[in-house]
């Protein structure tokens, strides 16, 4: 029997959880027609198989029709959810994991133009900035209807066989009642008395209890400190916990700190890379001690050592490692096998979460199999035939290709012109705030070394270098170079965002950053320049700046840039640049027409993505069996490529990542995984 605190079972009422590691509720936006179908199920089953004790499914599964699915939530108000949830639950149970589901009414945290176009409802007219909807103030008939909806949904989930339910009570309807900031009702559901503000929550729990009985597990995930003047503070938060426990109706608490009505608020609740690890663990411990109540908690506990400490020190009863499990679903298995050092690290990039707020599905920036369990493997199967695989480039695409080819058992050699692996990620990681990104490369390097992949750093691979290796397969992952030739005149007078980030070019003192790629590099360069005390204007022809950076990732940039001498200009386009003595004159127009302005600056920085470095690919193409072609149908179906176009060729040739076209880290890694898993 292991003595590892993380591997000790935990008894919650009648339910024995096999260890202390859980996945907290998170909506990855995988439902189809609002239902947790195959994709959703396989995502959870993968983690159940690998040993997680409890998976809290859904995020914010909607109990009412006027809680429309703003990020493709599960529709718990439909009866057809029962068989889907049952299938998911049964399969997770077969692998020993407990399954619960988070239910909610989103209140004002949604939009009226989704779902059935019903008005958004809340205990006041005040809107949540992040979702923009002005709510209707809730009426008595709404209250009784919604209490009934919660009870109906609880009954459905019990019928599906789940082990319990959690109520989302931070930033959603139930908590909008509790917070004085979002409740302008009078008694009995509003006013200064906490009991009145908690009344809606307690009536919901009572309504659910009447349907599901006293044995069924019900917990509350609530904010113990909204971190807003006039909101719920820690003293009141602890009092809420005490009252929940005293009610005898609630079985566990899941501790949150903060508020989620704005992007910065949400980012503090779910911290991203560069922010402190486990920032609220002590608070969770304090609440646990003050309430003597089973306590769950998650907030950037990405590593096993901190999770172990959280349990050993009695801070929590169950520790959430949610994004950590998106990155590596096999954490528990690896802990049990004493292979913690092989866990793929969550780097806090928050690509997963930011995507769902843009209407996409949650994908992990560096595990392309997550959310694609139907087609992509987390464990790579060995190949039936060992082949010589030559990879050119050790950026994210090349490193993933090397890792997967190594795991297939191939004889792999990687050529890289630089002295170190990493490519563009090495540039990204120059920002102290984004330094965690380098783990994407370090983890792959360690994996490759353990599998005997050979690296030739500082080597510029030419056609002959490759041919001399007698390869069966050549993969070109050479990435790209900054593309700055976008002006009508003056292209020779500008520098690239990479020039600034790498330190190759000294920042000017009055700088125009023209960013129509809208990705991290533009803002990163602006930050480097502004940090020297320079004035920076960040200009884009788009309607909003840095759209590829997305909501939560923008927060740390704004917290930095707004304190520096920066301005943001949207809907203007840099047309040309010319010299003016020691300085430059930038001519600015607009896609909307009829505008011509001038800026006097001493430096112009362009961020316009990359141009593929593809000479080697085109040189090798005629000698390859497939003439560089990829059969997309077979690629998508997970079938090996056939490579038959040129019978005189001696190797198959493929191109992945930015060597094809400027995209992002996830795209590069997905390119590599889905191609190489079948080589
Ligand atoms: C894609 C995604 C969706 C999420 N959706 C929800 C949600 O619907 N309800 C909820 O309570 N928390 C949600 N969360 C927050 C997680 O439960 C968790 O609190 C957060 O990720 C911090 O824990 P971690 O650092 O272990 O990932 C979501 C997180 C992610 C990554
Ligand atoms: S995208 Fe980033 S934060 Fe999200 S799971 Fe992957 S590594 Fe972690």
What's the mean pLDDT in 150-155? Answer: 98
- Where does ligand 2 bind, in terms of residues with CB under 6 Å? 323, 326-327, 346-352, 364-366
Per-residue pLDDT band for 126 (boundaries 50, 70, 90) equals: very high
Residue 500 CB coordination number (10 Å):
25
pLDDT, mean of residues 343-366: 97
Ligand nearest to the CA of 440: 2
pLDDT of residue 101: 98
Q: Output the pLDDT for position 645.
A: 87
Nearest bound ligand to CA 356? 1
Report CA(35)–ligand 1 centroid distance (Å).
19
Q: Is the pLDDT of residue 236 over 90?
A: yes
Confidence bin at 224 (pLDDT 50/70/90): very high
Measured in Å, residue 59 CA sits from the centre of ligand 1 at 7
pLDDT, tens digit, 9 for 90 and up, residues 496-548: 999 999 999 999 999 999 999 999 999 999 999 999 999 999 999 999 999 99
Whether ligand 1 lies within 6 angstroms of the CB of 110 is answered as: no
Predicted TM-score (pTM) of the model is: 0.97
Instruction: Kindly list the distances between the CA atom of residue 190 and the CA atoms of 123, 464, 538, in Å, as whole numbers in the listed order.
Output: 8, 77, 45
What are the distances in angstroms from CA 557 to CA 273, 350, 560?
Answer: 12, 14, 5
Predicted pLDDT at 643? 72
237-264: pLDDT as tens digits: 999 999 999 999 999 999 999 999 999 9
Burial (CB count within 10 angstroms: exposed 0-12, middle 13-18, buried 19+), residue 420: middle
Whole-number percent of the chain with pLDDT over 70? 100
> Residue 347 Cα, ligand 2 centroid: separation in angstroms?
6
pLDDT score recorded for residue 622: 97
Both tokens assigned to 209 = 């209890």
Quick one: average pLDDT of 373-400?
98
Please tell me if the CB atom of residue 301 comes closer than 6 angstroms to any atom of ligand 1.
yes
Nearest residue (by CA) to ligand 2, atom 6, is: 364
For residue 365, give the ligand 2 atom closest to its CA: 1
Of 62, 54, 50, 51, the closest CA to residue 17 belongs to 54
Mean of per-residue pLDDT scores for the chain: 97
Cβ(172) – ligand 1 distance below 6 Å? no
Say what the pLDDT of residue 1 is: 76
Distance from residue 654's CA to the centre of ligand 1 (Å): 37
Measured from the alpha carbon of residue 363, the closest ligand is 2
Share of the chain above pLDDT 90, in %: 98
* Ligand 1 and 304: CB distance under 6 A: no
Name the residue at shortest CA distance from atom 2 of ligand 2. Answer: 349
pLDDT digits over 276-302, tens only? 999 999 999 999 999 999 999 999 999
Q: What is the tens place of the pLDDT at every residue in 297-327? A: 999 999 999 999 999 999 999 999 999 999 9
Token digits of residue 276: 């402190």
Pairing of strands 21-23, 54-62: parallel
The rounded Å distance from CA 363 to ligand 2 centre is 8
Q: Whose CA is nearest to atom 8 of ligand 2?
A: 346
The mean-pLDDT minimum among 69-73, 178-182, 394-398 falls in 69-73
């Amino acid at each position: 029997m292991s003595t590892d605190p993380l591997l000790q079972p935990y008894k919650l009422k009648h339910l024995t959880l096999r260890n202390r590691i859980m996945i907290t509720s998170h909506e990855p936006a995988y439902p189809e027609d609002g239902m947790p179908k195959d994709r959703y199920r396989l995502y959870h089953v993968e983690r159940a198989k690998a040993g997680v004790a409890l998976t809290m499914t859904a995020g914010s599964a909607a109990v009412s029709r006027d809680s429309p699915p703003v990020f493709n939530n599960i529709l718990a108000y439909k009866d057809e959810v029962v068989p889907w949830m049952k299938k998911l639950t049964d399969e997770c149970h077969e692998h020993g994991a407990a399954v619960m589901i988070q239910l909610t009414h989103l209140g004002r945290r949604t939009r009226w133009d989704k779902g059935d176009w019903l008005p958004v409802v809340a205990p006041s007219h005040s809107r949540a900035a992040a979702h923009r909807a002005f709510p209707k103030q809730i009426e008595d008939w709404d209250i009784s209807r919604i209490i009934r909806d919660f009870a109906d949904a609880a009954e459905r989930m019990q019928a599906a066989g789940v082990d319990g339910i959690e109520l989302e009570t931070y930033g959603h309807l139930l908590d909008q009642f509790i917070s004085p900031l979002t409740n302008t009702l009078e008694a009995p559901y509003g006013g200064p008395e906490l009991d009145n503000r908690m009344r809606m929550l307690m009536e919901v729990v009572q309504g659910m209890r009447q349907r599901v009985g006293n044995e069924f597990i019900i917990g509350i995930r609530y904010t113990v400190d909204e971190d807003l003047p006039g909101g719920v503070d820690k003293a009141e938060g602890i009092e809420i916990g005490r009252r929940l426990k005293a009610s005898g109706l609630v079985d566990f608490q899941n501790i949150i700190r903060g508020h989620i009505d704005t992007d910065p608020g949400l980012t503090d609740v779910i911290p991203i890379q560069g922010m402190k690890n486990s920032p609220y663990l002590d608070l969770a411990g304090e609440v646990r001690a003050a309430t003597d109540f089973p306590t769950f908690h998650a907030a950037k506990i990405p590593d096993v050592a901190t999770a172990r400490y959280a349990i050993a020190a009695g801070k929590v009863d169950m520790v959430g490692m949610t994004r950590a499990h998106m990155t590596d679903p096999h954490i528990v298995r690896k802990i049990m096998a004493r292979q913690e050092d092989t866990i793929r690290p969550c780097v806090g990039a928050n690509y997963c979460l930011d995507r769902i707020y843009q209407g996409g599905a949650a994908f992990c920036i560096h595990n392309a199999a997550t959310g694609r369990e139907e087609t992509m493997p987390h464990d790579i199967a060995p190949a039936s035939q060992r082949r010589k695989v030559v990879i050119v480039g050790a950026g994210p695409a090349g490193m993933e290709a090397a890792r997967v080819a190594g795991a297939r058992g191939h004889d792999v050699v990687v050529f890289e012109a630089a002295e170190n692996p990493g490519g563009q990620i090495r540039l990204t990681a120059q920002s102290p705030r984004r330094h965690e990104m380098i783990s994407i490369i370090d983890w792959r390097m360690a994996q490759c070394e353990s599998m005997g992949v050979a690296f030739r750093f500082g080597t510029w691979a030419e056609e002959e270098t490759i041919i001399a290796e007698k390869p069966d397969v050549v993969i070109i992952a050479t990435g790209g170079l900054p593309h700055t030739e976008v002006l009508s005149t003056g292209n020779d007078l500008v520098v690239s965002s990479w020039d600034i980030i790498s330190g190759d070019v000294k920042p000017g003192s009055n700088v125009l950053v023209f960013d129509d790629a809208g990705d991290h590099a533009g803002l990163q360069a602006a930050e480097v320049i502004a940090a020297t005390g320079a004035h920076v204007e960040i200009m884009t022809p788009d309607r909003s700046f840095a759209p590829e950076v997305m909501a939560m990732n923008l927060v740390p940039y704004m917290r930095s840039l707004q304190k520096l001498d920066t301005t943001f200009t949207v809907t203007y386009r840099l047309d040309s640049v010319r010299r003016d003595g020691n300085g430059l004159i930038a001519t600015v127009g607009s896609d909307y027409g009829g505008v011509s302005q001038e800026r006097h600056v001493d430096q112009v920085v362009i961020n316009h993505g990359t141009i593929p470095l593809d000479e080697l690919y085109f040189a090798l193409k005629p000698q390859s069996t497939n003439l560089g072609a990829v059969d997309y149908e077979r690629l998508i179906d997970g079938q090996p490529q056939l490579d038959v176009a040129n019978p005189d060729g001696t190797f198959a040739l493929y191109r992945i990542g930015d060597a094809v076209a400027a995209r992002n880290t996830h795209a590069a890694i997905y390119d590599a995984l889905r191609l190489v898993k079948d080589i």
